[in-house]
Amino acid sequence: MSSEYAKQLGAKLRAIRTQQGLSLHGVEEKSQGRWKAVVVGSYERGDRAVTVQRLAELADFYGVPVQELLPGTTPGGAAEPPPKLVLDLERLATVPTEKAGPLQRYAATIQSQRGDYNGKVLSIRQDDLRTLAVIYDQSPSVLTEQLISWGVLDADARRAVATHEDA
């Protein structure tokens, strides 16, 4: 394992641990000594290689999929990622409520959950688009076309949806 990869892996391990509000000693206590603070710390610093088996066990301990612990596998020269799905909230406010009511309520809920009230744009995930497609009783690609026609989504969203549907 290259030292750069080990450091990236360690950064992911540290991020997951801190998201769970655990110190290194907290990991040791919570695992009842199965995971020693010094060992987990050496994994996080990239000073010590972790076996696939131990990584799987650590992922299980943290309650996350192993993939969440692995650094990105996309090489530097890979194709660019698909564009994000970004709702134009100012434009959404101009769409009649009888058309856009469900989307307006959904966007307001996301804003509330995130504490994101800039009022101009809102990034949504592919899962959000699929949920909205169910609400509107349309396929994600048909809904995307509808949102583009309303001016709520940029035309680049077509590529994001097509890329995701191909996967």
Q: Which residue has the higher pLDDT, 162 or 145?
A: 145
d(CA 2, CA 5): 5
Q: What is the mean pLDDT of the segment spanning 64-90?
A: 69
pLDDT at position 158 is 84
Q: Which residue type sits at 98?
A: E
Q: Computed from CA positions of residues 89, 90, 95, 98, in that sequence, does the dihedral angle turn out positive or negative? A: positive
- pLDDT classification of 73: cutoffs 50, 70, 90: very low
pLDDT at position 165 is 56
d(CA 109, CA 96): 19
Q: Which residue has the higher pLDDT, 147 or 15?
A: 147
Q: Which residue has the higher pLDDT, 56 or 117?
A: 56
- Residue 76 corresponds to which tokens in the numbers above? 């530097």
d(CA 147, CA 155): 9
